[in-house]
Structure 1
Amino acid sequence: MAVRTIITEGDPRLRQKAIRIRVVDEEVRQLARDLWDTVRAARGLGLAAPQIGVLRRIIVVAIPPDYVEEGDPGVELTLINPEIVRASGRQVGLEGCLSIPGWYGEVPRSMHVTVKALDLDGREVRVKGSGLLARVLQHEIDHLEGILFVDRIEDRSTLRYIPDEEEETAEAATGT
């Protein structure tokens, strides 16, 4: 198990574009395992490699079962070189980020997205997501472009700090 340190706002790597992965090899698979160990330890909904200081284009999405509503199966995705190829609709919702601990704000996102990526076997996959899944995918892909959720906030008055003990009860907040 390799839980990596999550870097925080102010670290210049969070503002850099990640490099495309050319070959899915054991090094990339180990990076994916490290991302999974780290996101689980942090109890986040997603994590991008730049958040652990690695400027490579890989993300994990970890939406637990029953997170949105009872009976939801949950989602676990590892996506390499993800690209949004289709987006539609609009939603505005509360977001947070493991790299900006304690801060949350209302962020507009597309309601539906289709993402093209590679899986851990190097095969092309397409993932369609709506609602929370669409939000998490967009948030994590933004990290690969050096964009943080605070950059997307339209109404800065919605940005607020919620101390650790209150974070778990912050309704609909995504810690990605």
Structure 2
Amino acid sequence: MTSDVPHTPHGPLPEGGKPRAITRWGTPVMHRRQADVTAYDEELRTLVADMAATMYAADGVGLAACQVGVDLRVFVFDCPDSTGDHTVGVVCNPTVSLPEGKDRKLDEAEEGCLSFPGAFVECARPDAARVTGFGVDGEPVVFEGDGLLARCLQHETDHTLGTVFADRLSTKAQKKLRKAHEKVADKFPLTWPAEED
């Protein structure tokens, strides 16, 4: 069943957040494993609400805490799978499982990152993924899917481990990505997409 209404098996994203400036590649928090979430409290809920607001303001499909400069292993997402069905969620302390052996098929598709905005390049990833972790209230969550959703779950889990998708590219593809970003960098000030005060 395809619908524009997001599928929310573990509840909607917290609302009422404010968009924050997106942290760029090269900032130390983007390139190290973040701290595990240990407190499922109002501070976490506020962070997650701000992350959701930031993701939507930037027209993204996923965002990790490190992308707003916060050293915590949590991400939010609102992303379609190969059928167009949207899944929405929050995952704290994610663990990703990928197909192995004969079930493993790579999907060569364009990938981008809000922390390196405006640039896209092909990146091969397994075409299905399953992520387990905890929701914003500490409840166990499981998300799985294919298509862009599989790519998103892998990309955001990578962020919580200090990996940006350029780390998975050849030197040639990294250069192509850098050139694409440089062409449009002026459109994305360092305050983007936060609202001006």
Please list, as runs of the form range in 1=range in 2, the aligned pairs for 1:104-115 lying within 5 A after superposition: 104-115=120-131
- TM-score computed with the length of structure 1 as normaliser: 0.82
Structural mapping, 1:43-54, within 5 Å:
43-54=59-70
Task: Say what the alpha-carbon RMSD is for the aligned residues.
Answer: 2.1
Q: Percent identity?
A: 34
Q: Tell me the equivalent position of 2:95.
A: 83
Larger Rg: 2
**Residue 75 (structure 1) shift:** 2.0
Q: Which runs of 5+ in 2 are unaligned?
A: 1-16, 188-197
Dislocated runs of 4+, deviation >2 Å: 85-89, 154-160
Question: Which is strand-richer, 1 or 2?
Answer: 1
The answer to whether 1:56 aligns with 2:72 is yes
Query: What stretches of structure 1 of length at least 5 have no aligned partner?
Result: 168-176
1:18-167 alignment to 2 at 5 Å? Answer: 18-63=34-79, 72-87=84-99, 88-154=104-170, 156-157=172-173, 159-160=176-177, 161=180, 163-164=183-184
Structure 2 counterpart of 1:6, from 3, 9, 22: 22
Q: 1:50 is aligned with what amino acid?
A: C
The Cα offsets for residues 125-156 of structure 1, whole Å up to 9 and x where unpaired, read as: 11111111010011111111111111111472
Aligned pair count? Answer: 161
Q: TM-score, normalised by structure 2?
A: 0.74
